[in-house]
């Protein structure tokens, strides 16, 4: 442990750097989602522990509320005890902490993916309650590892931009203010502030891709250091920074020239079939954005698949990719979400507001099951004619909108009661499509790249 005289300059320097990064993130996020509440996703490791301490200091000085959220996945026998230990540690640093517990049992396979999905689900539900921002502790090393993994998969510009300092998921702004900070700075900050942390044993498990990549990068960085060259991790972060700047500029130019379609409140989009001829990589990027808006695939399509899709559309052939269906309609392409072979279903309780299929915010006045309308056919137009903009929707669009099926089998059409609005009133079912944010001020650009 460093002595008091040494610890104060360390803590002050890291805090000042963090404050600049978080302020930039909040300025970018505030144009879309101003927030008074900050929530740190706390695993108990040094990265998220340092983040919680840094965010608490920032929140105290700026009149914001800050809470650390700890998720107990109940994967290991001692997970609950560990969650309480993490909460006790951070509370000693003056941070309010809450433990969120996963309710369902872990599967026998794919545990990491399952745990990640459950973790985000609980975190987003809690943050959404106050309209706050979720802070994640990804640091410079994590960013370099992400770029290396995406390079190996042949990602395009958007993929190589890796993790963004500001993003949005299911209506929640997600901030990553540590992306320019090395892990060692965060460990030193924890020690300087006497904040206890734990080590996750999975971070040493070579069965996981990220652990293998981390080890390979460490070896490359060590070799580069011996030759007095720039470290590989450093170069990868530079690549992410440059790719992000170029991709943001490209999307802004496409938007300013009217080439990025708007999202209808029903969640569908329309692409002109005979628009300006775009270079293949640009067309692929535009299609990736459209697919992300309409379908929210868990794994984004590869550049190879996107280029194949672009060629197919140029030939006038219908196609599907990433859960999105491209169907010819007159002089345009109608882009809708595919229901799929295993369509999602979600139970909702009376008065509850939930997220369905990762893109619909639904409020229900009754206990019901949320599903896609198309599971039982597209339905008639009775009642739709009274709602301008909905009565003329094509059958493929109506199939992909959510409906509430009550316990007695009756159907409620929430989008017809409140088009594009979700006021949460107790006597009406409401639905609001949540667009995927992409054109944000480039907060990472303002956070100077640090070697």
Burial class (CB in 10 A: 0-12, 13-18, 19+), 384: middle
Is the pLDDT confidence value at 229 over 70? no
Across residues 220-239, what is the average pLDDT?
80
User: Pairing mode, if any, of strands 133-135 and 37-41?
Assistant: parallel
Gyration radius of the chain's alpha carbons: 23
Is the pLDDT confidence value at 287 over 80? yes
Is the pLDDT confidence value at 5 over 90? no
User: Contact, 290 vs 335, CB < 8 A?
Assistant: yes
Which secondary structure element, helix H or strand E, spans residue 431, and what is its range?
strand 430-433
Across residues 76-92, what is the average pLDDT?
93
Integer CA distances (angstroms), 316 to 258, 319, 323, in order: 21, 9, 19
- Rounded (to 5) percent helix, strand, coil in the chain: 45, 15, 40
Q: Which residues are within 8 A (CB) of 116 and not within 5 positions of it... i.e. 6 or more apart?
A: none
Tokens representing 5?
């005289």
User: Contact, 178 vs 47, CB < 8 A?
Assistant: yes
Q: Tell me which of 11 and 217 has the higher pLDDT.
A: 217
Residues in the chain, how many?
A: 451
What architecture (CATH level 2) is domain 4-228? Answer: 3-Layer(aba) Sandwich (3.40)
Tokens representing 327?
């169907």
Q: Tell me which of 124 and 443 has the higher pLDDT.
A: 124
Q: How confident is the model at residue 451 (pLDDT cuts 50, 70, 90)?
A: very low
pLDDT one-digit tens code per residue, 119-157: 999 999 999 999 999 999 999 999 999 999 999 988 888
Mean pLDDT of the chain: 86
User: What is the pLDDT at residue 319?
Assistant: 97
pLDDT one-digit tens code per residue, 321-358: 999 999 999 889 999 999 887 888 999 999 999 999 99
CA separation for the pair 280, 307 (Å, rounded) = 7
State the SS3 of 216-236: HHHHHHHHHHHCCCCCHHHHH
CA separation for the pair 229, 175 (Å, rounded) = 32
Domain regions of the chain by residue span: 4-228, 264-333, 346-433
User: What is the pLDDT at residue 420?
Assistant: 40
Query: Whole-prediction pTM value?
Result: 0.87
User: Contact, 415 vs 386, CB < 8 A?
Assistant: no
User: What is the pLDDT at residue 444?
Assistant: 37
pLDDT one-digit tens code per residue, 389-417: 666 788 888 888 999 999 888 888 887 76
CA separation for the pair 118, 277 (Å, rounded) = 42
Is the pLDDT confidence value at 425 over 60? no
Q: How confident is the model at residue 225 (pLDDT cuts 50, 70, 90)?
A: low
Angle at 204 (CA atoms; ends 202, 205), nearest 5 degrees: 65
CA separation for the pair 228, 115 (Å, rounded) = 41
pLDDT one-digit tens code per residue, 273-286: 887 889 999 999 99
322 Rama sector, left if φ>0, alpha if ψ -120 to 50, beta otherwise = left
State the SS3 of 299-340: CCCCHHHHHHHHHHHHCCCCEEECCEEEEEECCEEEEEECCC
Residue whose tokens read 């169907």: 327
User: What is the pLDDT at residue 3?
Assistant: 43
């Amino acid at each position: 442990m460093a002595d008091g005289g040494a610890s104060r300059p360390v803590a002050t320097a890291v805090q000042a750097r963090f404050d600049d990064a978080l302020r930039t993130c909040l300025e970018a996020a505030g144009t879309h989602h101003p927030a008074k509440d900050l929530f740190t996703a706390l695993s108990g490791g040094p990265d998220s522990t340092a983040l919680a301490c840094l965010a608490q200091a920032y929140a105290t000085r700026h009149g914001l509320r800050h809470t650390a959220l700890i998720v107990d996945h109940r994967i290991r026998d001692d997970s609950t005890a560990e969650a309480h230990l993490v909460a006790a540690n951070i509370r000693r640093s003056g941070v309010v902490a809450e433990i969120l517990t996963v309710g369902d049992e872990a599967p026998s396979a794919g545990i990491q993916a399952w745990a990640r999905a459950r973790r985000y689900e609980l975190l987003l539900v809690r943050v959404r309650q106050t309209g706050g921002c979720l802070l994640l502790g990804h640091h410079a090393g994590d960013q370099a590892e992400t770029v290396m993994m995406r390079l190996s998969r042949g990602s395009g510009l958007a993929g190589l931009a890796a993790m963004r300092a500001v993003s949005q998921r299911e209506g929640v702004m997600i901030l990553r203010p540590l992306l320019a900070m090395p892990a060692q700075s965060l460990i030193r900050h924890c020690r300087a502030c006497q904040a206890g942390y734990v080590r996750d044993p999975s971070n040493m498990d070579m069965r996981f891709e990220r652990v293998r990549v981390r080890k390979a990068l460490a070896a490359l960085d060590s070799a580069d250091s011996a030759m007095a060259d720039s470290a590989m991790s450093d170069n990868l972060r530079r690549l992410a920074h440059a790719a992000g700047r170029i991709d943001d500029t490209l999307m802004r130019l496409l938007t300013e020239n009217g080439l990025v379609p708007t999202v209808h409140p029903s969640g569908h989009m329309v692409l002109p079939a005979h628009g300006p001829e775009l270079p293949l990589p640009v067309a692929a990027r535009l299609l990736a954005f459209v697919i992300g808006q309409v379908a929210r695939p868990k794994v984004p399509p590869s550049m190879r698949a996107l280029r194949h899709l672009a060629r197919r559309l140029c030939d006038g052939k219908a196609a599907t990719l990433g859960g999105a269906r491209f169907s010819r309609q007159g002089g345009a392409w109608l882009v809708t979400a595919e229901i799929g072979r295993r369509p999602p279903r979600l139970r909702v309780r009376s008065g509850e507001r939930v997220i369905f299929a990762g893109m619909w915010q639904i409020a229900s006045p009754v206990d019901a099951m949320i599903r896609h309308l198309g599971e039982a056919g597209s339905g008639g137009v009775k009642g739709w004619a009274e709602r301008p903009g909905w009565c003329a929707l094509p059958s493929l669009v109506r199939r992909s909108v959510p409906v509430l099926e009550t316990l007695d089998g009756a159907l409620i059409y929430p989008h017809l009661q409140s088009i594009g609005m979700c006021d949460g009133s107790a006597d009406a079912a409401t639905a609001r499509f949540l667009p995927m944010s992409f054109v944000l001020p480039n907060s990472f650009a303002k956070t100077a790249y640090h070697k």
